[in-house]
Structure 1
């Protein structure tokens, strides 16, 4: 299929998805490493308002950031900087939850796979408040254990977020800086 047909089909599908899902607005781009092949915007920034989405509109990336974070941790694991089998307490000794023994059994791989054993959506109501990760961490003792680590899937935004300070401690770079570096250089030049 030619690139032009691909772009036309993608744009048509995007418009249909927006219409059927009642999305207020989106921006859709098809890019290569060298150029933007297509950039289309649809709809408004907020329902009920006439401020249209444009190429400068900022969107929350939500859980898409988990993909990049997991890929980075995989690279760090391959480079022997982070061990997926390590308990999170090795990197974050100050972390506490209500079950003191449980926290000692949670491994990095459990954070990435949502198998920490902490109840689904724990602390979720605070996750979107303008508070720091450290403030969320301070509330971890209010979470409850529902299974052993690695035994059951419990989707967790806040618990997954613990990977950021683990990356920072293991690599000596804050997550945001490390993601910028990893995008530009080989893993060897970042350590």
Structure 2
């Protein structure tokens, strides 16, 4: 039986409503709609409008701008998972003739291909895509502004190239691939490239007077994979659930987690934000959020997810500028996570069949020189190495077929941990990327590089 979502407390609900009401009022937005999901279930939604009785709801479409890029990135990773391309492939291998074919698929996904941020004029977000009928029109004569692979530089034309890559490999339109491979499997029936009623109209609000101007809603043509989509809070929270736990009909959880890993060096604020593969990653206080923001003339959007809290929030508004929509959505996550912290699952021992005595014997203290570390069994059958005291190098490890273990994260990501045994089968030491870990500091019975002084440990002599 599927359990019903636990309702939020009245105080939390009021705080959420106050949060978006303040954002709509102070941000001078024609309308604003938002929703929060906890543990995969929608637990709150709310909206505000400048017209009494016409507030949007969870089924009202808004344009979501660059949130579209996350969908395009998922389609590319599906091609990778099917073996149709590698992320290190040069673009030219699959989409020849662009003039920038030496950049890699990975660089395009993470905005490190060195391409310009925008297409050459006229302003592509407010003009028809028919003005840019080919990729050469999208890229222009000065497509590169940085050396590929050296830094993060956000690029809308880069995601246009990825959309064309999807079309070339699949042999059909980006829109059709999107619908059949993401929207239909996830039940996102109110998401698409064109608005369908009920939908909001886009507005520009005068910066110094309380008057408005309607914004055009152009079809972006080739640049659609960078920002064309319309969606609802209900549909975007379905997408958030997928981005949290994966869905084998679309993309496995390992590939979804890969999207969250920063893909390129960021600027001086790297500690504050980064960009993975189609996903923004930001720090909000002590909380890490991933998702994406979006903007097009007349619209602002944001979707943020905290995996640790299992809370997601989306906020949509129909104004060119006004509310800091990314902060609005992040604030919704923070309100729920802090007012009603996630209840931890009960501790349970592993099933008896998973209690491996040989692995259990490896747990406990290990010393790299004199630095104390602890090796633990992870709940998923892996190993976890952490410093015994304070900060230091550590990682989680997964077993390979040859008895070795490969680092999953941290300093030792990709490095190999091997258990080195004596002739009688007992453990002599651990070898981690040539570093020797012993049961005692500089254990003379172990193969410590450089050897151990025969005089042993000693105090200060006279």
Query: What is the alpha-carbon distance in structure 2 between the residues aligned to residue 112 and residue 106 of structure 1?
Result: 11
RMSD after superposition:
3.3
> 1:4 corresponds to which residue?
8
| Aligned counterpart, 1:143 | 142
> In structure 1, what is the equivalent of residue 48 of structure 2?
42
**Structure 1 unaligned residues grouped into runs of 5+:** 97-102
| Aligned counterpart, 1:54 | 56
How far apart are residue 166 of structure 1 and its match? 0.7
Give the whole-Å Cα distance in 1 for the aligned partners of 2:95 and 2:131: 13
Q: 1:116 aligns to what?
A: 113
Correspondences of 1:158-173 after superposition (within 5 Å)? 158-173=157-172
Equivalent residue for 2:30, pick from 18, 24, 28: 24
Aligned length in residues? 178
Using structure 1 for the length normalisation, give the TM-score: 0.73
Q: 1:180 to 1:144 in 2, by over 3 A?
A: closer
Give the C-alpha shift of residue 123 in structure 1: 2.7
Give me the TM-score of the superposition, normalised by structure 2: 0.34
Quick check: which has more Rg, 1 or 2? 2
Is the contact between residue 7 and residue 30 of structure 1 (CA under 8 Å) also seen in structure 2? no
2:21 aligned with 1:15: yes
Give ranges in structure 2 of 5+ residues lacking alignment. 1-5, 186-247, 252-462
**Which ranges of 4 or more aligned residues in structure 1 deviate by more than 6 Å?**
32-35
Question: Match of 1:186?
Answer: 249
Shift of 1:13: 2.2
Question: Are 2:129 and 1:131 aligned?
Answer: yes
Q: Take 1:134 and 1:120, find their aligned partners in 2: how far apart are those partners?
A: 16
Tell me which protein shows more strand as a share of its residues: 2
Q: Which moved more, 1:13-22 or 1:162-171?
A: 13-22
8 Å CA contact 2:8–2:43 kept in 1: the answer is: no
